[in-house]
Structure 1
């Protein structure tokens, strides 16, 4: 959520910065709400002041034995008006909050301005794509003889669900274990196991609600007045970040670094027709997530660090990739700055996203009321960051395609062999 004080002080500047990311801020609607809020707040404060003054007068009259009935009647009338005014002020505050919940974050000054992905800027590349002396297959054709079963997945749950069997299921598990072990053992993250179902206010905290409700899988229990609505997580960023919800942390406790491996559930509303073949875009997939909670002055250093942690996974797997900075028009809703890591996919002869690392600055912290005590001892919003380290299914795609052999087998990357019982090749 944006800083309300910044909107009040520099509305034109906020409108310009949001326009850079293709968002048309309704300044007239905000100004109207803000004007009514100021008017009602002043009226409410004046009524409170008048009531306090009159209440003191009542005490004086009574101490002198004088008649205070007229003043008491006026106080009673003020009380009714004050109650109405305070109720309307609460309504306006709620309307302002609801209005702000639909506004994306402001882009950091270092983010390139652009309308869409064509405005993204490549930062660096690592590794060289492998040269094949045989016809390259995509991961579907490589994987199906090895246990990648789309037919059973669809029979059980419908389109965009997949069953894994045998060696390929173990390879998928090995990837997740390797990623978690690396982040917890080498990069300083605390491994977590989190709930997969959360309450609506948790999703409001990290920005999935209310804007992206259609992209979430909803679960309901009970009925009538006892109906409870919850949601399946679309990433463990949601649960990890919300661990600092409604907290005031000691500065010495920062940074907080958390990681978790979890399934992720996304309805992919509006995404039909894209990547319908294979594992690239699924309703259920696994991801290893990294989250950091920092002070504002260290968050951009932490972002670079987090990108490096995701890169380390790809380098250990010896998968070619590139890092790009997303432009203003391609960033996610809550991000102030985002780097994407894209891995080389031989069958498509292109790079595809495998990790996204973002600094949300205080955007989520305001929604969650997550703060720390600064050097002056005053509560201040933390900064939150998140990044994929990595998307497990997409990493499996990259391994199957980059490590495929002419006979249909797949070489197991060296770093994964300890997790595969020493197995160095998958065969049908």
Structure 2
């Protein structure tokens, strides 16, 4: 407990609700401090400011009550050490030191702790003097209370002698709870009346975040997410671009094939031209009419292939600027679409911001109203206490008058 409270103070926070109900046991029997709903951040001077009584009445410290009374509301982490002393007293004696039937009487005993705090005289309680001294050092005025120097004050106390503070979590706990799994709650008493439907209104649905993809956080594929794929290429544009690439590749392949055929035809034409040579008698042999016809056919085919090759090259040159223009148009369209989507998202964010500001104003108004009601309640409480004191004094006077009259009646008789 000392280490747990000290760790909170080291983080510059004060717990303000230390009690046995807020201490849990883990599977190994070591404690876990819980319920940080009343925590406050310490200021630079090591104090917090609050004029509201927080915590459980039996464990609340006198400085918190005093801060509520005078309205200044400043105290420090010493209030947690007071509550620790009350917890220790309860664990050793079975009840809190300032228990009373009414809340007013309990607070009165706490404020008058110098006269009201004492140990039971029952000999059945065997409590060492060191333990009593530790409780006296915790349940006392804040200026004399143990813990002003942190846990070092406890390490130097006689009740913690020979305790291995650094290896305390490695030691065997005196009690180890029986649990079947890390989620076993069989040791908790659950009241059916505590299980009720929450009145909280569900948050406003946001189309940009549906939480459907949360199980896949960490994976890189996010196709279809309007938050991460605003600039991605649509599937129809991707398929169109792929078709154009395949068309260009086919044209280039056709061009290469025609160039190859043209080269072969030229080589064949040269071979045909080589048929007109020189005879055995030295005279030149002219090509036959058949070979001449073949040469003309080859020449026509060469011309046709050359023309087709020029057409393919022209188509290829026209296709490339067209693709470039189409890509530029696509990029411009995507940019415009993304701008529109971003503007829509900005409008949604502005709307959410306005709603949040409205909720903030409503919460501030509600807080002011609650603060006013609290002040009125405190004023009524003070009036009730004054009336109670006045009635008590009046009752005492009436009793004295009654006793005086009774004596006078007896004297006359």
Shorter-chain TM-score: what band? under 0.3
- More helix as a share of residues: 2
Which has more radius of gyration?
A: 2
- Scaled by the length of structure 2, the TM-score of the pair is 0.20
- More strand as a share of residues: 1
Ranked by relative contact order (alpha carbons within 8 Å, sequence separation 6 or more), the top structure is 1
